[in-house]
């Protein structure tokens, strides 16, 4: 059993452990939340995260204890009527403990629900190449990274320009657009 106490936003189980380490980290009514319960069955503990932020850690019965998952599981109800109404956007069960870093990567609620896989923190999306403009003596100067392209229309078509940064251009065109791309 893991319960939410509506009166104070606590999250825990009977016998204590509802209070977060930081009193500002609490489940509030009428708002969506991402709640993660991450179990370390060998140590007999579970860690609670709310919207990617550490909530608290609590003891449980370990592999065969109170939070162990058997052949079937009850979600959002209880065997003795301690039930309440709620809306659920998605549920995920992972066959391992979720780390604090992974909980932070998952973060708060998302309209698209939970990802199929927890994002890999080692994968870094490259930054888009930079581009800037300044007025030059005879037109415009474009300072860029990567490959420079130009077009008479922002929707394209775009053409590669054989130039190195900074590049100077005559500003006599009514409209001329530039962008840089990764080579």
pLDDT band at 65 (very low <50, low <70, confident <90, very high): low
pTM above 0.85, yes or no: no
The pLDDT value recorded for residue 86 is 76
Strand-pair category, 53-59 with 10-12 = unpaired
Residue scoring higher pLDDT (42 or 143): 143
Q: Are 84 and 51 in contact (CB under 8 A)?
A: no
3-state secondary structure of 50: strand
Instruction: Say which range, 13-17, 29-33, 78-82, 139-143, has the weakest mean pLDDT.
Output: 13-17
In sequence order, what are the beta bridge partners of 151? 177
Per residue in 95-130, pLDDT (tens digit) is 788 889 888 888 888 777 777 677 666 655 666 678
Q: How far apart are CA 176 and CA 37, in angstroms?
A: 54
pLDDT exceeds 60 at position 72: yes
- In which residue are the tokens 């606590």 written? 10
Task: Please calculate the CA angle 123-94-11 and round it to the nearest 5 degrees.
Answer: 105
The pLDDT value recorded for residue 95 is 78
Average pLDDT, the chain: 79
Per residue in 4-55, pLDDT (tens digit) is 777 777 777 766 667 777 878 888 888 888 888 888 878 888 888 988 899 8
The pLDDT value recorded for residue 63 is 62
Instruction: Count CB atoms within 10 A of the CB of residue 130.
Output: 11
């Amino acid at each position: 059993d893991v319960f939410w106490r509506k009166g104070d936003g606590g999250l825990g189980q009977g016998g204590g452990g509802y209070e977060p380490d930081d009193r500002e980290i609490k489940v509030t009514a009428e708002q969506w939340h991402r709640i993660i319960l991450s179990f370390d069955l060998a140590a007999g503990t579970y860690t609670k995260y709310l919207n990617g932020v550490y909530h608290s850690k609590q003891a449980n019965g370990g592999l065969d204890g109170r939070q162990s998952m058997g052949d079937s599981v009850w979600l959002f109800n209880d065997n003795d009527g301690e039930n309440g109404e709620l809306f659920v956007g998605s549920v995920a069960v992972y066959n391992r403990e979720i780390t604090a870093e992974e909980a932070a990567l998952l973060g708060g609620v998302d309209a698209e629900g939970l990802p199929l896989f927890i994002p890999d923190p080692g994968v870094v999306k490259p930054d888009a190449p930079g581009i800037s403009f300044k007025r030059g003596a005879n037109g415009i100067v474009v300072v860029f990274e990567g490959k420079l392209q130009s077009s008479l229309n922002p929707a394209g078509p775009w053409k590669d320009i054989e130039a190195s940064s900074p590049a100077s251009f005559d500003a006599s065109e009514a409209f001329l657009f530039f962008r840089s791309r990764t080579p």
